[in-house]
Amino acid sequence: MTEIPQELTRFLASASRVVALTGAGASQESGLRTFRDAQTGLWAQYKPEDLASPEAFTRDPKLVWDWYAWRREAIKGARPNPGHYALVEIEKRIPNFTLITQNVDGLHRFAGSQNVLELHGNIQKVRCSECGTFTETWGDDSESVPVCERCGGLLRPDVVWFGEPLPRSELEAAVTASRACQVFFSIGTSGAVQPAAALAHAARNNGSVVVEINAEPTPLTPIVDFALHGKSGEILPGLVRAVWGG
């Protein structure tokens, strides 16, 4: 059991502005595979640029569409884990709480989190790759990539691919919240992808306490105030109990 430092519980008990940034590790205990974990990582089987880039979609739209359809299926059966629910509890107790996620699985909202910034989009949303029109229904004949009813362009998931910019308003809100917070949590993320990884530095440079909750040390570990290494589905509920009881 990872011990929660008393100093951290004191910071949290008196904080009014808190940010939590989550990555694939936060959904690992929901049965979803992380990106870079050795052996089990999704990317171990595929080169990321062959599946999650505009170039890949141009080269082989069907391969890319099928991969996202497969992930969508896996996510359909996934349920939030105790870490997701602990973040809902923290939001209830902190007046100004922002949850920034790199995950496209939608599990934070499923659990009940309200103020969520999805930096990399949401896999359940689909839009036209040509005209940008969103659609909630599409035909899946398994032979070809479904097309936009409006313009005939190929449909694609509304997620951020390698080389694509992040959604501007989400990114701006994430940077603003990270600069203003008193406590910043980095949870289940390898810190390998920018600009999400830079948010912890923005928080620290503005005087925030920075806390890492991760299965293992990351490039961020040397600069954090508290590094709690273990499963977020165990550490986060433990943190809630340590600060607010129950």
* Positions marked catalytic: 120
Q: How many residues bind ligand APR (CB under 6 A)?
A: 23
Residue type, 232: S
| Residue 93 backbone phi and psi in degrees, to 5 | -105, -15
Q: Which of residues 100-119 bind ligand APR (CB under 6 A)?
A: 102
Q: Which of residues 149-188 bind ligand APR (CB under 6 A)?
A: 188
Residue type, 166: L
Residue 89 vs 105, nearer CB to ligand APR: 105
Is residue 223 within the footprint of ligand APR (CB under 6 A)? no
Residue 34 vs 208, nearer CB to ligand APR: 34
Is residue 98 within the footprint of ligand APR (CB under 6 A)? no
Q: How far is CA 104 from CA 27, 82, 101, 109, in A?
A: 10, 18, 8, 11
Q: Which run of H or of E encompasses 174?
A: helix 168-180
Instruction: Return the range that interacts with ligand APR (CB under 6 A); candidates 18-26, 64-72, 126-134, 198-206.
Output: 18-26
Is residue 130 within the footprint of ligand APR (CB under 6 A)? no
Neighbours of 140 (CB within 10 A): 11
Q: How far is CA 234 from CA 74, 217, 226, in A?
A: 23, 17, 16
**Structural contact between residues 25 and 213, judged by C-beta atoms closer than 8 angstroms:** no
Is residue 232 within the footprint of ligand APR (CB under 6 A)? yes
Interface mask (CB under 6 A) for ligand APR, residues 31-70, using x and -? ---xxxx---------------------------------
Three-state DSSP string of 88-111: HHHHHHCCEEEEEECCCCCHHHHH
Is residue 241 within the footprint of ligand APR (CB under 6 A)? no
Tokens representing residue 89 in the block: 């509890």
Tokens representing residue 231 in the block: 């499963």
Is residue 189 within the footprint of ligand APR (CB under 6 A)? yes
Is residue 215 within the footprint of ligand APR (CB under 6 A)? yes
Tokens representing residue 102 in the block: 């790199």
Residue 28 vs 129, nearer CB to ligand APR: 28
Tokens representing residue 4 in the block: 């929660």
Residues engaged in binding ligand APR (CB under 6 A) = 23-25, 28-29, 34-37, 102, 120, 188-190, 192-193, 214-216, 218, 231-233
